[in-house]
Amino acid sequence: MYKLLLCWKYLRTRYLAMVCIVSVMLGVATLIVVNSVMGGFSTKLKERLHGLLSDVVLEAYDYDGFTDAPSKMALIRNDPFLSNEVEAMTATLEIFAMLQFNFREVPFTRPVRIIGIEPEGRKAVGGFAEHLVNPKNHENPTFNLDENARERFIIRRASRGIDFPGPREAPNLNEPPPPDPPPSKPHEPQGVILGYAIAHYRDRNAPADLVNKDVRTLEPGDEVVITTVSGAKMSPVFDRFVVSDYFKSEMSEYDSNYVFMPIEHLQKLRTMEDRVTSIQIKLKDYNKAPKVVARLRELFANAPLEVQTWEQKQGAVLAAIRVEKGILNILLFLIIAVAGFGILAIFSMIVVEKTRDIGILKALGASNGGILTIFIGYGFLLGLVGAGLGTIIGLEITVHINDIEKLIANVTGQDIFPRDVYYFDKIPTDINLFSVFLVNLGSIGIAVLFSILPALRASMLHPVRALRYE
């Protein structure tokens, strides 16, 4: 009983102990905040890396693609194992291209990747429709212009305010023309969905209080010209398109490169009807992905196709994230180890200071084990209180990290989290309760571990020597 009483009294009366508590507390709080933010970044990044990729991708080795996607999908659908695992699939055709447009009478050209898709099928596989800017497209993604866009298109077409470099109407002799326009209306080019960053740039000189600093270079209804290569002979082909919507996944690689258009249109443009470059497959249970991949490889053993999960495709980046997180955690744990040495030093001081009390307790019949328990219990208590406070503070900071960031930015005038660099609206956080628990366990463990040595010394003190100690 006296052990408990003394632990408690020592905790309350030793200001040095507060130093231990504070150092454990800071260590724990830092670990929790950094872990949560790192976790947030990596979850978000993973989400985005997954982004456009479906769970499993069946893909051709080159841009030429492969034929007969429907029959391959039928083969998958008829396979007894795969049919149970596959939730949805869709074929896509990918190719690099040049995008040209006028902004404020100045012509711009930029490289892009065109992805030909079948909107409904692509939506079923996921990672597409929910990123479209026009909310109408979330339910029913289409490449058709909405009212405003069509109006804008007609006005601009009428005023002829745009002028593209190069030939205006496709004077293609060898290639078939784009799909026939509806005869009744004025010719309206095919709609395309542009990556958000293609059509916007961030104005660094905008007033600070402006919420949306993005300047739009292409409105829905504006015309663009896309040039790419045909399938077999690699000769250039191009066509006029009109912007119908934006794709904003917040993954800058996608947002600044991807242009979506209907797959049939792209096939016609490239004269490679019936060819696709990949089949995207969504699984019912991603945990079964390795088995599905194995089965697919078996099924298409003779075709020049590669089968990969999205993680395999992004393997290098994911591995880098994992390694980075691991190293950071080790480094941060050193913080707590430093706190541990603080405990060691301070405890040794407290033992010296308490030498006579230890002698008294022994004279009154306290055992060596009892004295040992007092000091180890004391270390445990310090660790517990420090870790508890640290957890509370760490979680508080994590939850309010964006407010805190804003506050610091306001006070110092320094932007800590430049949003256009990370392309996040706010600092992402992901509190993992298990890792919070581990951090607590680890820091309490370290507090106890580092109190063992001084505690042993205290328990080994000879009572007479301790009593004579001045």
List residues binding other proteins (CB under 8 A).
1-2, 4-6, 9-10, 13, 356-357, 359-368, 370, 462-464, 467-468, 470
Residue 444 Cβ, how far from other proteins at the closest point, in Å? 20
Closest contact distance (angstroms) between CB of 338 and other proteins is 28
74/349 with CB nearer other proteins: 349
Shortest Cβ 6–other proteins spacing (Å): 7
- The nearest distance, CB 353 to other proteins, in angstroms, is 10
Q: How far is the CB of 467 from other proteins (least distance, A)?
A: 7
For residue 357, the minimal CB distance to other proteins (Å) is: 5
Backbone torsions φ then ψ of 152, nearest 5 degrees: -60, -40
Nearer to other proteins, 118 or 357 (CB): 357
Nearest alpha-carbon partner for 219 in 259, 240, 246, 252: 246
Helix axis angle for 368-399 and 401-412, nearest 10°, is 70
Q: C-beta of 358: minimal distance to other proteins in Å?
A: 10
Show the CA angle centred on residue 58, arms to residues 271 and 233, nearest 5°: 25
CB closer to other proteins out of 14 and 150: 14
CB of 460 to other proteins, least distance (A): 12
**Among residues 64 and 357, whose Cβ is nearest to other proteins?**
357
Closest approach of Cβ 365 to other proteins, in Å?
3
The residue to which tokens 């692509």 are assigned: 122
Q: Of the candidates 385, 371, 407, which has an alpha carbon nearest to the alpha carbon of residue 22?
A: 385
Nearer to other proteins, 218 or 361 (CB): 361
Nearest CB to other proteins, comparing residues 14 and 123: 14
CB count, 10 Å around CB of 171?
Answer: 6
User: Three-class SS string for the chain?
Assistant: CHHHHHHHHHHHHCHHHHHHHHHHHHHHHHHHHHHHHHHHHHHHHHHHHHCCCCCEEEEECCCCCEECHHHHHHHHHHCHHHHHHEEEEEEEEEEEEEEEEEECCEEEEEEEEEEEECHHHHHHHCCCHHHECCCHHHHCCCCCCCHHHHHHHHHHHHHCCCCCCCCCCCCCCCCCCCCCCCCCCCCCCEEEEEEHHHHEEECCCCCCCCCCCEEECCCCCCEEEEEEECCCCCCEEEEEEEEEEEECCCCHHHHCCEEEEEHHHHHHHCCCCCEECEEEEEECCHHHHHHHHHHHHHHCCCCCEEEEEHHHHCHHHHHHHHHHHHHHHHHHHHHHHHHHHHHHHHHHHHHHHCHHHHHHHHHCCCCHHHHHHHHHHHHHHHHHHHHHHHHHHHHHHHHCHHHHHHHHHHHHCCCCCCHHHHCCCCCCCCCCHHHHHHHHHHHHHHHHHHHHHHHHHHHHCCHHHHHHCC
Nearer to other proteins among residue 419 and residue 465 (C-beta): 465
* Complex with other proteins: residue 93 or 361, whichever CB lies closer: 361
Using the minimum distance from each CB to other proteins, give the nearer residue, 338 or 360.
360
| Residue 272 contacts residue 94 (beta carbons within 8 Å) | no
Which CB sits closer to other proteins, 5 or 327? 5
Instruction: Compare residues 72 and 457 and give the one whose CB is closer to other proteins.
Output: 457
Question: How many CA atoms, within 13 angstroms, populate the side-chain half-sphere of residue 273?
Answer: 5
* Closer residue to other proteins (CB): 2 or 437: 2
Beta carbons within 8 Å of 77's beta carbon, 6+ residues apart = 83, 86
CB of 389 to other proteins, least distance (A): 22
Closest contact distance (angstroms) between CB of 285 and other proteins is 51
CB of 288 to other proteins, least distance (A): 53
